[in-house]
């Protein structure tokens, strides 16, 4: 791809890191859909999928929303980016998604210890998972279409560095 007149991304590219998270979110949503739909999974497959889903959506998924709410949005506001009411909407999505994922986590936790309960739980996995996946996928598309392009043109190299360092600290990684 030829890009003209664009600066190369900084070494600590915050938007690239957030986009990587979006791809992970999409992969885990697909896994959640499989768990809600398939009737031919072995007990081990159910256990492993429930364990991976619980692990991801109880930790890394929440860190991602925090990266945006606490580490990216304040810098964009401070830099005067013209992003209201988008930031408000995205923050509200994060709160709604946080509430919705709680009920799914409860069911995945049960499946870790009791994979045989899958047929019983599948209707509620679908009922709870469908609106969660719908809002989350719309949310990712909205961020990619309207937030990230403006963030890319707004953030200065030192912002990328500071936000990325804060993201690493939140994950217990030493700042590089
Ligand atoms: Fe978000
Ligand atoms: Fe995001």
Tokens of 85: 């009411």
Domain ranges of the chain: 14-170
Q: With a cut of 50, say whether residue 117 has pLDDT above it.
A: yes
Residue 1: pLDDT band (50, 70, 90) is very low
Residue 116 alpha carbon to ligand 2 centre in Å = 34
What pLDDT shows up at residue 9?
A: 55
The gap between the terminal CA atoms of the chain, to the nearest Å, is 30
pTM: 0.91
Centroid of ligand 1 to alpha carbon of 145 (angstroms):
12
Residue in this structure with the two tokens 């408000």, named with its chain if needed: 88
Which pLDDT value is given to residue 173?
A: 83
Indicate if the pLDDT at residue 174 is higher than 90. no
Contact 47, 111 (CB under 8 A): yes
Mean pLDDT throughout 17-35?
A: 98
Burial of 3 (0-12, 13-18, 19+ CB in 10 A): exposed
What spacing in Å lies between the alpha carbon of 64 and ligand 2's midpoint? Answer: 6
175 pLDDT exceeds 70?
Answer: no
- Say how many Å lie between the CA of residue 119 and the centre of ligand 1: 32
Q: Convert the pLDDT of each residue in 62-111 to its tens digit.
A: 999 999 999 999 999 999 999 999 999 999 999 999 999 999 999 999 99
CA of 61 to the centre of ligand 2 (A): 9
DSSP 62-110: HHHHHIIIIIIHHHHHHTT---TTHHHHHHHHHHHHHHHHHHHHHHHHH
More confident residue, 28 or 3: 28
What pLDDT, on the 0 to 100 scale, is given for residue 12?
A: 85
Q: What is the pLDDT of residue 21?
A: 97
How many angstroms is it from 123 CA to the middle of ligand 1?
27
Token pair, residue 60, equals 């890394």
State the Cα–Cα distance between residues 95 and 166, nearest whole angstrom. 21
Does the pLDDT of residue 137 top 80, yes or no?
yes
Whole-number Å distance, alpha carbon 102 to ligand 2 midpoint, is 18
Contacts of 60 (CB under 8 A, 6+ apart): 21, 24
Question: Does 3.40.50.2300 match the CATH number of domain 14-170?
Answer: no
């Amino acid at each position: 791809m030829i890009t003209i007149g664009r600066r190369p991304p900084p070494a600590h590219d915050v938007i690239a890191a957030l986009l990587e998270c979006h791809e992970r979110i999409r992969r885990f949503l697909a896994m959640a859909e499989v768990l809600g739909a398939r009737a031919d999974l072995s007990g081990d497959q159910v256990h492993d999928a429930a364990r991976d889903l619980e692990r991801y959506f109880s930790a890394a998924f929440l860190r991602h929303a925090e990266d945006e709410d606490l580490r990216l949005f304040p810098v964009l506001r401070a830099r005067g980016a013209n992003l209201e009411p988008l930031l408000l909407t995205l923050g509200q999505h994060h709160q709604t998604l946080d509430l919705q994922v709680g009920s799914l986590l409860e069911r995945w936790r049960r499946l870790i210890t009791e994979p045989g309960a899958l047929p019983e739980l599948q209707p509620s996995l679908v009922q709870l998972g469908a609106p969660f996946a719908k809002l989350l996928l719309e949310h990712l598309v909205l961020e990619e279409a309207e937030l990230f392009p403006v963030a890319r043109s707004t953030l200065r190299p030192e912002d990328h560095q500071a936000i990325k360092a804060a993201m690493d600290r939140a994950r217990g990684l030493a700042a590089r």
